Amino acid sequence: MDPVRPYTEVLDRLKSAGLRPTRQRLALAKLLADSGDRHITAEQLHDEAQRAGVRVSLATVYNTLHQFTAAGLLREVVVEAGRSYFDTNTSNHHHFFHQDRGELVDIPAGAVTVSELPVAPEGSAIESVHVVVRIRDDAN
Amino acid sequence: MDPVRPYTEVLDRLKSAGLRPTRQRLALAKLLADSGDRHITAEQLHDEAQRAGVRVSLATVYNTLHQFTAAGLLREVVVEAGRSYFDTNTSNHHHFFHQDRGELVDIPAGAVTVSELPVAPEGSAIESVHVVVRIRDDAN
DNA sequence: TTTTTTCTTTAGAATTGTTCTAATCTATTG
DNA sequence: CAATAGATTAGAACAATTCTAAAGAAAAAA
Ligand SMILES: [Mn+2]
Ligand SMILES: [Mn+2]
Ligand SMILES: [Zn+2]
Ligand SMILES: [Zn+2]
């Protein structure tokens, strides 16, 4: 809110995650925060950083995405082999996966309901419940 | 049922899929059929074949798994980056994914219910709905 | 401040699961 | 039996990701 210190919020989040506010982390956090809800891969974020003139290595993008995920700032979503998406929306929600385009899209809250939850097998506890609705271009 | 022609069923399935009943395909089909419901990776099936004395290359295991999947004899399930599971149960059902062990387990039919289905985005149609319940060893 | 320590970034190598290539082999067809 | 179409294979290639170890930057200590 204070135009003189535009990074205050991101700074606080990094601090409370025990992460030093480096140039690279601040820039990546800003790119992620400024773009609304998204589902982005490491390579995509790396490209985006390059285009924005931010010099950062792909290794650092991977490190940062995992650190942000561990800190609860991102959520990792896997729906196809060999590719991880990072979701800027960390709330519990489900996804459409558009198989023709390789695109993840949030399912609006309430549009899908898991009404009966299974009991976790003996000795284990449920950590998350995720519904993936695979869709294809309509054959109309 | 006829002990003299134990491969009849597998043979028929291959034939109707337009696949030649080669030694490799018959052996892999048998391994998959004889072991009950399973969620197996290509490498695991390859190892199992080796141990059973079946000589088959990993490339052929991959080819065969994909052909069987295309023929509807298997279902491919992806829950973690960089690894595909092939499910011998092709009916519609959902999964526990045991994150500590990297193990997929069927959720019993009826133990989970998706009561409200989302409307597919304009121009697309729903192809499948899959619920993944991630579990962890209990912290008891 | 300066020094020291700890954490971070990075290029490039390595790893993993998977797919591709193109030569050899085998099942089917005529 | 050919002849042909299809299948198998070893090993190369690939793509996403992780690792390594050296150089750099931030924080803590002096
Ligand atoms: Mn990861
Ligand atoms: Mn596949
Ligand atoms: Zn999302
Ligand atoms: Zn299953």
* Residue B42 pLDDT class (50, 70, 90 cuts): very high
Residue A77 has pLDDT above 60, yes or no: yes
Test mutation, B80, B135, B138, chain A, max A CBs within 10 A = B135
- Mark the residues whose beta carbon lies below 5 A from ion ligand 4: B 87, 89, 106
**B117 interfacial to chain A (CB closer than 8 Å):** yes
Work out the average pLDDT over B111-137: 93
CA of A55 to C1' of C10 (A): 11
Q: What is the DSSP letter of A60?
A: H
B102 in any annotated domain: yes
Does any strand C atom come closer than 7 Å to the Cβ of A53?
A: no
User: Nearest by CB to A131, which of B129, B136, B137?
Assistant: B129
Residue A122 has pLDDT above 90, yes or no: yes
Question: H/E/C letters for each residue in chain B?
Answer: CCCCCCCHHHHHHHHHCCCCCCHHHHHHHHHHHCCCCCEECHHHHHHHHHHCCCCCCHHHHHHHHHHHHHCCCCEEEEEECCEEEEECCCCCCCEEEECCCCEEEECCCCCCEEEECCCCCCCEEEEEEEEEEEEEECCC
pLDDT value of position B13: 87
* Residue B8 pLDDT class (50, 70, 90 cuts): confident
* Residue A70 pLDDT class (50, 70, 90 cuts): very high
pLDDT value of position B4: 41
Q: Relative to the alpha carbon of B108, which ligand is closest?
A: 4
pLDDT value of position B49: 97
B71 in any annotated domain: yes
CB contact under 8 A, A112 and B107: no
**A105 interfacial to chain B (CB closer than 8 Å):** yes
Residue B1 has pLDDT above 80, yes or no: no
pLDDT digits (tens, 9 = 90+) for A5-26: 456 888 888 998 999 999 999 9
Q: Chain A residues with CB inside 8 Å of B114's CB?
A: 112-115, 131
Residue A4 has pLDDT above 70, yes or no: no
Question: H/E/C letters for each residue in A1-50?
Answer: CCCCCCCHHHHHHHHHCCCCCCHHHHHHHHHHHCCCCCEECHHHHHHHHH
B7 in any annotated domain: no
B116 or A24: which carries more pLDDT confidence? A24
Residues A118 and A81 sit within 8 Å (Cβ to Cβ):
no
**How many Å apart are CA B82 and CA A94, to the nearest integer?**
21
Closest CA to A128 of A76, A65, A71: A76
pLDDT value of position A54: 97
A10 in any annotated domain: no
The two three-digit tokens of residue A39, written as one number: 């589902």
> What's the domain count of chain B?
1
Residue B70 has pLDDT above 90, yes or no: yes
Q: Chain B residues with CB inside 8 Å of A69's CB?
A: none
Residue A76 has pLDDT above 90, yes or no: yes
Q: How far is the CA of A39 from the centre of ligand 3 (A)?
A: 6
pTM over 0.75: yes
Average pLDDT for chain B: 91
The two three-digit tokens of residue B64, written as one number: 């065969």
Average pLDDT for chain A: 91
**How many Å apart are CA B135 and CA B101, to the nearest integer?**
10
Residues A44 and A83 sit within 8 Å (Cβ to Cβ):
no
pLDDT value of position B116: 87
Residues A25 and A83 sit within 8 Å (Cβ to Cβ):
no
B5 in any annotated domain: no
CATH (domain of A57):
1.10.10.10
A122 in any annotated domain: yes
Does any strand C atom come closer than 7 Å to the Cβ of B55?
A: no
A85 DSSP β-pair partners: A77
B106 DSSP β-pair partners: B95
B68 in any annotated domain: yes
Cα Dmax for chain B: 55
Work out the average pLDDT over B74-92: 95
Contacts made by residues B21-24, CB under 8 angstroms, sequence distance 24+:
B24/B54, B24/B56, B24/B60, B24/B64
A94 in any annotated domain: yes
pLDDT value of position B7: 63
State which residues form the domain around B83.
18-135
As ranges, strand D nucleotides with an atom below 7 A of a protein CB are 6-11, 15-20, 25-27
- What are the φ/ψ torsions at residue B135 (nearest 5 degrees)? -125, 160
Nearest nt (C1') to A60 (CA)? C9
